[in-house]
Amino acid sequence: MGLRRNAFAAYEAWAPESGRLIEEARRYFPGGDTRMSAHFAPYPLFIESASGCRMRDADGHEIVDFMNNFTSLILGHANPAVVDAVSTQIATGSAYAAPTRNQLDLARLLTERVPSLEQLRFTSSGTEATLMTLRCARAATGKQRIMKMEGGYHGSYELAEVSLAPVPGLCGPLESPNAVPIDASFPDSVLNDAVICPYNQPELARALIARHADELAAVIVEPILGSTGMIPATTEFLLALREACSAHGVVLIFDEVITLRLGDGGAQALHGITPDLTAMGKIIGGGLPIGAFGGREELMRVFHPDEERPVMHASTFSGNPVSMAAGAAAMGQLDPQRFEQLNGLGATLREGVDAAFRVNGIRGQATGAGSLANLHLTDAPLRDARDSLAAATRAGSIVQAVHLGMLRRGIASAGRLMYCISTPMGAAEVELAVDALDDCLRELRPEIEREKPELLL
């Protein structure tokens, strides 16, 4: 299509050095890619440096970073207090096979803030954190199957990615969705272990939990569907999960790897709903690799070394002192006032996005909550991953064109048009992003008229 071809050509002319570097990278990595989530067509930018909310790429462009390493850099890049903490710690050792004082410091901070945390363990990533919550639930309940939400993403392992994309024709009826593999690597055993639940459907969720209660170890849910459009859960939906899990002896897990940035105690504090276990990551590491999981002491007891058969959790870099120092330095700077400022800017961004679509006569909106946003080329209600996927499919190459057009205007987001706010940002950066979107949509409108007129108001 002409729109996609023109968008690629303009981008390639704008970022030739990144184009040269990707060709070299393709010698060593399949497709030049060593991290699929950071890849986009025709090729990603190579970043040379970053500070605060701005990055500089290999072609010398300054870019305002609204991606923040997929929401993890809530303080932006090279935060001085984090840099100082890391420098001090690494000079005295980067990792020991031993506990450290700064593990205690970060654990104390997290348990004081997050309602569900009575005890916790650190991991090396959010992926590992969610995986260990599932193992905890299975060991504690003696049951095997796991319920996850359609469109939910919990990391890079098979069960975490089942039904991430509810593909039409494969996903089944809404009241009882099929377990759909995201690629060809999934064994049948994983698909059989997964019970898929529709998002934001309280009564359907209650019915599914009741139907499978005898075999369900856990229900895991993101309070906002992160990878499929930043779609918030309703309090009614989360409360239905809480009540049904309590009634049937099923462990409720909140994956707050992304949503912990919504407030001092994460999404669970905002909704007033306490899960049995919580998985965390991203912001708690100050920009370094980290994860954590925790919850009720009686559940976490399965990891106690004095148990006859404790659940095995031996990860070489879990709780490493550098990540602990960075995490404590980062989280220590976040308080209710900071979260309020971040969330206010997020609301301003979402409002500005909606206005830019209206002014240009194009169907579009921003979803999200707090400091999180996602742009969609539709004005229809978005309640779940099926709605989000359908909108992206209808928009086709326009999503790519908007993403690349915004990059050329100095605004970075995820390829799926996910944006988030960091503390170095202010009203000026949000205004810059909204103005860039307005200009981008104005440029694209003639091509949208030709190729996707149904997207015009």
Q: Can you tell me the mean pLDDT for 86-113?
A: 97
pLDDT tens digit string along 418-430?
A: 999 999 999 999 9
Mean pLDDT of 285-294: 98
Examine the pLDDT at 314 and tell me if it is beyond 70.
yes
Which CATH architecture fits 80-331? 3-Layer(aba) Sandwich (3.40)
Where in the chain are the domains?
2-77+336-455, 80-331
Amino acid at 412: A
Buried b / exposed e over 9-40, threshold 16 CB at 10 Å, is eebeebbeebbebbeebeeeeeebbeeeeeeb
pLDDT of amino acid 2:
83
Mean pLDDT value across residues 35-40: 93
- pLDDT 10s digits, 4-16: 999 999 999 999 9
Distance from the Cα of residue 342 to its chain's centroid: 17
Domain 2-77+336-455 has CATH 3.90.1150.10: yes
Residues in Cβ contact with 9 at an 8 Å cutoff, skipping those fewer than 6 apart: none
pLDDT band at 344, cuts 50/70/90? very high
Residue 209 has pLDDT above 80, yes or no: yes
pTM of the complete model:
0.97
The mean pLDDT value for 327-345 works out to: 98
Which residues neighbour 135 within 8 Å (Cβ) at sequence distance 6 or greater? 311, 313
pLDDT higher than 80, residue 1: no
